[in-house]
Amino acid sequence: MTRKAIFPGSFDPITNGHYDIIKRGASLFDEVIVAIGVNAEKKYMFSLEERKRFIEEAFKDEPKVRVITYTGLTIDLCKKEKADFILRGLRNPADFEFEKAIAHTNRSLSQIETVFLLTAARTSFISSSIVRDVLRNGGEIKKLVPEAVWASIDK
C-alpha cells in the first residue's frame, strides 16, 4: 500500500518552514502532495500559477513531491487522491490549538488521519504573512524562503 499525504495550504508564498515540513514528510511518506487551496474570498500576493511554480521549482529534484491546486474540502481531495493522511506543520501552541480543531473535524467526517510535524527551531518564526510584510516593505527575504521564490522576485 502506498502511503500518501496531502500537505494543504495557500503557500503565499512557500516559506523555508513549509519547505522543511515537505522535505521531512517526503522521508515519511511514499508521496507528498502539496495541495494549494483556492479561496475566492482571499487576496493573494502571488498568483496561483506563481505559487505552484515556486513549489515545483523548489522540489524539482524530489520525485516524491507533487504539486496540485484544489477547491473544496481537503478530506474530499484526500479521497480523490487516495491519500490517507493530511500533513501539517506546527510552529507554536496557537498553531496546535487551531490545527487540532481542524484535525478532529476531519477525523469525525472521514477516516483521514492528520500527522503533525514540529517545524525546525530555525524556521519556527517564519510565516507567509511575515514574508509578505517584509516584501511589501522592501526587505530582504533570502533567509525566509526557498531560492525558487527569492530568485524570481525582481528587486
How far is CA 121 from each of CA 28, 41, 125, rounded to the nearest angstrom? Answer: 20, 32, 8
Per-residue pLDDT reduced to its tens digit, 61-105: 999 999 999 999 999 999 999 999 999 999 999 999 999 999 999
pLDDT level of residue 155 (50, 70, 90 thresholds): very low
- What's the confidence (pLDDT) of residue 42? 86
Give me the catalytic one of 79, 91, 100, 107: 91
Residue 18 annotated to the active site: yes
| 58 has a pLDDT exceeding 90 | yes
pLDDT level of residue 39 (50, 70, 90 thresholds): confident
Q: Is 99 annotated as a binding residue?
A: yes
Q: Is 123 annotated as a binding residue?
A: yes
CA angle at 10 for the pair 7 and 14, rounded to the nearest 5°: 80
Please give the mean pLDDT across all residues of the chain: 95
Range of the domain at 40: 4-151
Q: What is the CATH number of the domain that holds 83?
A: 3.40.50.620
Q: Is 124 annotated as a binding residue?
A: yes
Q: Is 47 annotated as a binding residue?
A: no
Domain count across the chain: 1
Cα 28 to chain centroid distance, Å, stands at 16
The CA distance from 40 to 75, in Å, is: 19
pLDDT level of residue 154 (50, 70, 90 thresholds): low
Give me the catalytic one of 51, 52, 64, 128: 128
What's the residue count for the chain? Answer: 155
Residue 53 annotated to the active site: no
| 46 has a pLDDT exceeding 50 | yes
